[in-house]
Amino acid sequence: MNKQIILVAIVVLISDIGIFLLFPLIEPLFLSSETGLQQGENTENIKIALLGLTLALYPLGCFIFSPLFGSLSDCHGRKPYILLNLLLQAFCYAAMGAAIAWHNIYGFMFAYFLAGCFSCNYSLSLAIACDDKGNKIRSLGIVSGASCIACTLGILLAGMLTNNTLVSWFNLSTPFYATAIISFIALFIAALFLKETVTKKTAYSGTTADTLNLLKKSKQLYASNKTLYSLLIVNLGLLIGVQLIYKFISLYYSSNWAASPSEISYYLAIFFTSMSITEIFIVTKVSHRYSTATSMLISSFCLSMTILLLLVVSNTVQLHIITISLGALIALSTTLIVSDISDSSHRDRQGETLGINSSYRQIANMLSSLAGAALGIVSINLVILAASLFIAAATFAYYSIHHSHGKREANETF
């Protein structure tokens, strides 16, 4: 299974690189009149509005389709849908590259939305990790670590493949074409070497409309497994706080520390490197030493407090320590709660559960963008405070779930 998890991690790495390609290219693609998608035909406000809409399209696509692919993978196996996502995502990236070359913003937006629809390999890969019952947390850490590495590589790839001083024909389309090619290579490798982890395949009994109806599925989940439903809601709150840090920590560095773009990149590299190392090497050791619930409570509480330290840090040495700590604590908290969610779900419904969780993750993505933008207009410190409060509330709710669950088990035993 270890070799399979490494292969799955490679799939996640390649799939997620495309997500992060766009962020370094936002200014030249959307705001530049000379090189961008809009070629000066819109006002600045319209350009910014289209940028915001575009950034929301990817998580929207993932939000809609993750539960569907998760449910289907429980019935028919993970591998067919991983291959399908890789194939369609490759075409989407190629279409995005073509749209940039033709300065067609609406074509780019449509292709970006479709790329989000077929970006479900992360949740499917988490399901494969959860299928590995003997080393679940280690497998989850490897998969999540691959996603963190993808962030760094995506940013680097975008910078290198748009630099026409390196190669004369490099331009804004090149990173997307390159990602399409890499996706086809990953498709070929996965088709040859990826093994199926779902041994008991069944016919899919639901309708597509039912599967896409997240509200209905949530109600059904609440009726059948209140603990699992509660954990998903707790994770939603946790992820809103985490996403606020992801999205706005760059603004914090620039506003509170007057960091240059290169300095911001440096701090982000430290942040994501800390996350990757923790995901791959430390989460497993912690889970072997302490229970999942205890580890999750400690790490999320410490995360909430560490975020608050961003408001009082006074020198760069402290800032480095806090940045490293944030990466490590986010990795611990987010991986451990996914493991707990998996443990609370039926073994034959891991794909569906993690697909629903992925949809909630995209809700957190969108809500954090809106909340962070509104608070950031007033002060970046309000964003930091909100992130800490969301995570603190999630920690308290998580404690309440396990405390009440423990009391119920004790009463049943008595």
3-state SS of 129-149 is HHHCHHHHHHHHHHHHHHHHH
The alpha-carbon radius of gyration of the chain (Å, integer) is 21
Counting Cα atoms < 13 Å in the Cβ hemisphere of 312 gives 5
Which pLDDT belongs to residue 297? 96
User: CB count, 10 Å around CB of 407?
Assistant: 10
pLDDT tens over the chain, length 414 residues = 577 888 899 888 887 887 777 766 766 777 666 666 765 566 767 776 777 678 778 888 888 888 888 888 888 899 999 999 999 999 999 999 999 999 888 999 999 999 989 988 888 888 888 887 667 888 888 988 888 888 878 877 877 888 888 899 999 899 899 989 989 988 998 999 898 888 776 655 555 555 555 666 666 766 778 889 899 999 999 999 999 998 888 889 988 998 875 687 788 888 988 998 999 899 989 988 999 999 999 999 999 999 999 999 999 999 999 999 999 999 999 999 999 999 888 877 788 788 888 888 888 987 887 788 788 878 899 999 999 999 999 999 999 998 876 544 433 332
CA distance 190 to 405: 40
Answer yes or no: are the C-beta atoms of 338 and 126 closer than 8 Å.
yes
Which pLDDT belongs to residue 408? 47
Answer yes or no: are the C-beta atoms of 113 and 60 closer than 8 Å.
yes
Closest CA to 341 of 298, 387, 292, 304: 292
At position 399, the amino acid (one-letter code) is Y
Counting Cα atoms < 13 Å in the Cβ hemisphere of 360 gives 23
Which pLDDT belongs to residue 410? 36
CA distance 123 to 116: 13
pTM over 0.85: no
Common-topology check for domains 1-194 and 213-414? yes
Collect contacts of 280-284 with beta carbons under 8 A, ≥24 apart: 280/141, 280/142, 280/145, 281/141, 282/141, 282/328, 282/331, 282/332, 283/137, 283/138, 283/140, 283/141, 283/331, 283/332, 283/335, 283/336, 284/135, 284/137, 284/138, 284/141
Answer yes or no: are the C-beta atoms of 235 and 337 closer than 8 Å.
yes
What fold is seen in the domain 1-194? Growth Hormone; Chain: A; (1.20.1250)
Task: Provide the residue ranges of all domains of the chain, joining segments of one domain with +.
Answer: 1-194, 213-414
Which pLDDT belongs to residue 413? 33
Which pLDDT belongs to residue 205? 55
CA distance 178 to 93: 9
Using DSSP's 3-state secondary structure scheme, residue 202 falls into coil
Answer yes or no: are the C-beta atoms of 345 and 225 closer than 8 Å.
yes
Answer yes or no: are the C-beta atoms of 392 and 242 closer than 8 Å.
no
Q: Any alpha helices (H) in 22-132, and if so which ranges? A: 26, 44-76, 79-101, 105-117, 121-131
Helix (H) or strand (E) holding 237: helix 226-257
What fold is seen in the domain 213-414? Growth Hormone; Chain: A; (1.20.1250)
Calculate the CA dihedral of residues 129, 9, 154, 97 and round it to 10 degrees.
Answer: -100
- Secondary structure letter of residue 312 according to DSSP: T
Which pLDDT belongs to residue 388? 98
